[in-house]
Amino acid sequence: MSGLAFNPFAMAQSQFDKVAQLLELDEGTRELLRNPLREYQFSIPVHMDDGTVKVFRGFRVQHNDARGPSKGGIRFHPQETIDTVRALAMWMTWKCAVVDIPLGGGKGGVICDPHNLSMREQEQIARGWVRQIWKNVGPFNDVPAPDVMTNSQHMLWMLDEYEHLSGGHYPGFITGKPVGMGGSLGRTEATGFGVVFTIREALKTMGIHPEGTNAAVQGFGNVAQYAVRLYTQLGGKVVCVSSWDQTDQTSYTFKRDTGVDVDELLKITDRFGGIDKQKAEKLGYEVLPGGAWIEQEVDILVPAALENQITEENVNKISEKVKIVAEGANGPTAPEADDVLRKRGIYVIPDFLANAGGVTCSYFEQVQSNMNYFWTRDEVLGKLDVKMTEAFYAVHELAERRKLSMRDAAYVISINRVAQACKDRGWC
Ligand code: NAD
């Protein structure tokens, strides 16, 4: 992370303001869309395993629900702030709109560090989060999902608590549930695969076959693992991934010129996506500083860990060879760095398009949960490919036609759709 003063919400608003200007949006619509419609902050008291009571801070932000129920994940993170949640909620609004699914944007979180919490303590936090907010969320107004350091088990605890409080079965309350308990096949792969569907199409527009291309990936969590898997299946080579080391409290890059092997690395990766560096060295990986992923001589960079990773300070370390930056993470590129990428002619697939596979599949999960009829994995991933590919070309064609960056074109499409829904409802 560069600089303590980084504020993701200020960044999200500045991206919005720029496009609002471009679209000549009226003042009222701008004011409505540059801030969340609703936000909640609350305390979650937990009886810890050592007998003490600890109070955790929880959040839920509903940025906009003009197009449908708010949708967005819940993060468990020690550095969570309300501004991070606001930014992520706003990006969810644009993400749902860019892939044209009938959902709005929301996000939630709890300031906590699951590394230092037992499963029982995490369950209490998950259930406590629902107890504080259940009247303001639900299948028809706001549908949560997993995000950083939360998973299907947390979602199931949350569903159980919600159903207990509301006295019925509402599998459409939450997505990212375990398969067999209302979850959708394909959801685990969806975000990473979605990133690669957009990379595949971007390469196609450049007349490049994925075979023979290579990539460097930041992160080795859910998004990164499945992105590496599918990109490798398409014939590409991933030369490095990176991860956070809990013991050393720093990140490392794991590089192997012959390419990384997901299955092999998974055997030495903890449940938070942290790779064991001694074991990695034995497998022939070079262990480099965390920032090394960005300096690799590759065709494609995939930041898939955290926000604010490509900044003014490191953007010039990006090799001449790089043609595509596919933003798997939310908000990985700071605005100043984005300007540099644009000037250098690097094709950026913006976060809310590139990583929209997760929410698209969550939408499929909701549809299936509501019908109580579940599709096969191939059916889910086939529908996902169609949605992502359509969204990619809508953005790509607008970017070409209006000489816009991919990010601005994606914003133009999303903001137009959301502004129109607000107008149609008579809000502004
Ligand atoms: P995850 O918790 O599964 O994995 C995060 C990975 O990043 C881990 O390997 C961790 O070790 C690594 N990491 C953490 N800090 C790092 C650092 N400073 N440098 C290098 N690596 C670091 O998370 P995820 O679900 O893969 O999500 C990654 C990003 O993608 C987040 O920005 C998230 O908001 C976004 N995202 C996720 C989904 C989804 O469906 N999982 C959907 C859309 C967007």
Q: pLDDT by residue for the chain (428 residues), tens digit each?
A: 344 567 989 989 998 999 999 999 999 999 999 999 999 999 999 999 999 999 999 999 999 999 999 999 999 999 999 999 999 999 999 999 999 999 999 999 999 999 999 999 999 999 999 999 999 999 999 999 998 899 999 999 999 999 999 999 999 999 999 999 999 999 989 999 999 999 999 999 999 999 999 999 999 999 999 999 999 999 999 999 999 999 999 999 999 999 999 999 999 999 888 999 999 999 999 999 999 999 999 999 999 998 899 999 999 999 999 999 999 998 899 989 999 999 999 999 999 999 999 999 999 999 999 889 999 999 999 999 999 999 999 999 999 999 999 999 999 999 999 999 999 999 99
Residue nearest to atom 15 of ligand 1 (CA): 244
What pLDDT is recorded for position 4? Answer: 52
- Residue 218's identity, in one-letter code, is Q
The angle subtended at Cα 151 by Cα 124 and Cα 349, nearest 5°, is 140
For residues 224 and 192, give the distance between their C-alpha atoms in angstroms, rounded to a whole number: 6
Residue nearest to atom 29 of ligand 1 (CA): 329
For residues 356 and 190, give the distance between their C-alpha atoms in angstroms, rounded to a whole number: 9
Ligand 1 atom having least distance to the Cα of 176: 40
User: Which residues pair with residue 240 across a beta bridge?
Assistant: 216, 255
Ligand 1 centroid distance, CA of 305 (Å): 4
* CB of 144 shorter than 6 A to ligand 1: no
Ligand 1 atom having least distance to the Cα of 351: 44
Cα–chain center distance at 360: 12
Alpha helices in 251-376 (DSSP H): 262-266, 277-282, 335-343, 351-354, 357-371
For residues 50 and 134, give the distance between their C-alpha atoms in angstroms, rounded to a whole number: 28
Mutate to test the pocket of ligand 1, among 112, 151, 244 (most ligand atoms within 8 A of CB): 244
* CB of 221 shorter than 6 A to ligand 1: yes
Own/partner contacts of 401-408, CB < 8 Å, gap of 24 or more, are: 405/338, 405/342, 405/348, 406/347, 406/348, 406/349, 406/350, 406/353, 407/15, 407/338, 407/348, 407/350, 408/18, 408/19, 408/22
Ligand 1 atom having least distance to the Cα of 190: 40
For residues 357 and 200, give the distance between their C-alpha atoms in angstroms, rounded to a whole number: 14
Ligand 1 centroid distance, CA of 306 (Å): 6
CB atoms within 10 A of CB 12: 25
Ligand 1 atom having least distance to the Cα of 306: 32
* CB of 360 shorter than 6 A to ligand 1: no
Ligand 1 centroid distance, CA of 16 (Å): 24
Contact 421, 227 (CB under 8 A): no
* CB of 273 shorter than 6 A to ligand 1: yes
Overall size of the chain counted in residues: 428
For residues 341 and 215, give the distance between their C-alpha atoms in angstroms, rounded to a whole number: 17
Q: Which one, of 91, 66, 20, lies nearest residue 428 by Cα?
A: 66
Is the pTM value of this prediction over 0.85?
yes
For residues 259 and 121, give the distance between their C-alpha atoms in angstroms, rounded to a whole number: 39
For residues 226 and 358, give the distance between their C-alpha atoms in angstroms, rounded to a whole number: 12
For residues 64 and 77, give the distance between their C-alpha atoms in angstroms, rounded to a whole number: 24
Q: Which one, of 203, 114, 124, 97, lies nearest residue 151 by Cα?
A: 114
**Measured in Å, how far apart are the chain's first and last C-alpha atoms?**
38
Own/partner contacts of 276-284, CB < 8 Å, gap of 24 or more, are: 277/245, 277/252, 280/254, 283/256, 284/256, 284/258
Tokens of 108: 């939630």
What pLDDT is recorded for position 3? Answer: 44
Ligand 1 centroid distance, CA of 253 (Å): 14
Q: Which one, of 198, 193, 103, lies nearest residue 394 by Cα?
A: 198
For residues 65 and 327, give the distance between their C-alpha atoms in angstroms, rounded to a whole number: 25
What pLDDT is recorded for position 2? Answer: 41
* CB of 182 shorter than 6 A to ligand 1: no
Contact 71, 92 (CB under 8 A): yes
Alpha helices in 207-316 (DSSP H): 222-233, 262-266, 277-282
Of 95, 107, 237, 255, the active-site residue reads: 107
User: Which residues pair with residue 106 across a beta bridge?
Assistant: 62
Residue nearest to atom 40 of ligand 1 (CA): 358
For residues 224 and 351, give the distance between their C-alpha atoms in angstroms, rounded to a whole number: 13
Ligand 1 centroid distance, CA of 215 (Å): 17
Ligand 1 atom having least distance to the Cα of 224: 26
* CB of 366 shorter than 6 A to ligand 1: no
* CB of 223 shorter than 6 A to ligand 1: yes
Establish whether 204 is a catalytic residue. no
